[in-house]
Amino acid sequence: MTHSKTHSLFAALAIASILAGCGLAETGAAAAADAEAAAQAAKQAKEMEAKVQQRVDAANQTAAEQRDAAEKMTE
């Protein structure tokens, strides 16, 4: 191979490697972004679950107080 053909081959290989690396970097970045979004969604779901549980507990407490009050009125 002549010097210019060898140089062209190495240049083509270098460009191919760079482009392949960029694709992998983008794939890795996308996967990281997806994982971040999933973690955020899980955190929000847990927060929502806690709020719902607090509301259920409050409703149960109110119902218990109303039952107690009704029982006292019938005594």
| pLDDT score at 36 | 87
pLDDT at 2 over 70: no
Q: Decide: helix, strand or coil at residue 72.
A: helix
- Please report where in the chains the tokens 């140089």 appear, as a residue: 7
Tell me: the pLDDT tens digits for 6-55?
778 777 777 767 666 666 656 767 778 888 899 999 999 999 999 999 99
pLDDT at 1 over 80: no
| pLDDT score at 26 | 66
| Angstrom distance (rounded) from CA 34 to CA 44 | 15
This prediction's pTM: 0.54
**Higher per-residue confidence, 70 vs 29:** 70
Helix H, strand E, coil C: the string for 3-71 is HHHHHHHHHHHHHHHHHHHHHHHHHHHHHHHHHHHHHHHHHHHHHHHHHHHHHHHHHHHHHHHHHHHHH
